[in-house]
């Protein structure tokens, strides 16, 4: 889409959101879940197959380079400074052969080209070097959209007294959304970092963040999240 078309789409979406917000508020939606006592950062699929150009899963590169990665870098700085947990989530498959009698891709490969993310090609599923994990941070390998589905994520979070997840990554319409939905279903306070979430399709981020904020979690700016992290850090050090 051209810049003009994108701006028009954004205008129409905002118009729809304004109308829907009135309806939602009248009916008791758009409540706040807020932060708990101990948040963790859950970064979803910010690996090279999604963050770098030339892959089937490549997301909006302008937003990735100018907004999502810088937003993640700022969040990482504040999570690390306040000694709060960080989980980097990525996706890869051990048996990416679509003709195999048995595969760990489930049926997802009938819809999208997950077979390209071969576990043997470590560069593809490695976390982007601009936001690379450091010592003490956990990298979790998933095989489905949600970071919770079939993984150890909930158990690790609870074992470390985490009650809140700040979710970033891609894509807004799939893996980020599913992670947030499963997170609140599992009893975690769910916060979506607005500027650190992306997608491939114009309008997908705006629509999904609006819907998430109405039903499944609080959509907050990176700056506001960082202020809250610093407040939590000060309380913990007191």
From CA 224, how far away is CA 238, in angstroms rounded? Answer: 21
**Would you say 216 and 181 are in contact if contact means Cβ atoms under 8 Å apart?**
yes
For residues 197 and 182, give the distance between their C-alpha atoms in angstroms, rounded to a whole number: 17
167 close to 193: Cβ distance less than 8 angstroms: yes
CA distance readout (Å), 7 to 1, 10, 173, 193: 10, 5, 20, 22
- Core vs surface per residue 85-113: b (16+ CB within 10 A) or e: bbbbbbbbbeebeeeeeebebeebbeeee
> Is 175 part of the annotated catalytic residue set?
yes
Closest by CA to 195, choosing from 90, 60, 40, 39, is 60
Selected catalytic residue, list 59, 173, 175, 181 = 175
Token match 């708990």: residue?
A: 36
Cis ω on the peptide bond leading into residue 171 (within 30° of 0)?
Answer: yes
Give the pairing type, strands 138-142 and 218-220: unpaired
Residue linked to tokens 């595969």: 103
Q: Which residues are catalytic?
A: 175
């Amino acid at each position: 889409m051209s810049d003009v078309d994108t701006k028009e789409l954004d205008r129409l979406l905002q118009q729809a959101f304004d109308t829907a917000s009135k309806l939602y508020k009248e009916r008791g939606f758009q409540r706040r879940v807020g932060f708990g006592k101990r948040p963790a950062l859950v970064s979803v699929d910010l690996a090279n197959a999604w963050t770098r150009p030339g892959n089937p899963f490549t997301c909006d590169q302008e937003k990735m380079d100018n907004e999502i990665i810088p937003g993640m870098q700022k969040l990482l700085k504040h999570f690390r400074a306040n000694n709060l947990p960080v989980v980097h989530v990525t996706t890869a498959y051990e048996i990416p052969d679509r003709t195999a009698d048995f595969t760990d891709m489930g049926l997802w490969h009938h819809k999208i080209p997950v077979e390209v993310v071969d576990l043997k090609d470590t560069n593809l599923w490695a976390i982007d070097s601009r936001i690379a994990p450091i010592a003490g941070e956990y990298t979790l390998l998933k095989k489905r959209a949600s970071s919770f589905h079939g993984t150890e994520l909930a158990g690790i979070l609870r074992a470390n007294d985490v009650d809140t997840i700040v979710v970033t990554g891609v894509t807004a319409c799939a893996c980020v959304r599913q992670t947030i939905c499963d997170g609140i279903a599992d009893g975690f306070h769910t916060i979506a970092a607005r500027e650190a979430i992306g997608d491939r399709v114009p309008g997908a981020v705006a629509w999904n963040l609006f819907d998430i904020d109405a039903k499944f979690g609080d959509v907050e700016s990176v700056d506001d999240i960082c202020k809250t992290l610093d407040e939590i850090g000060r309380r913990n050090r007191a």
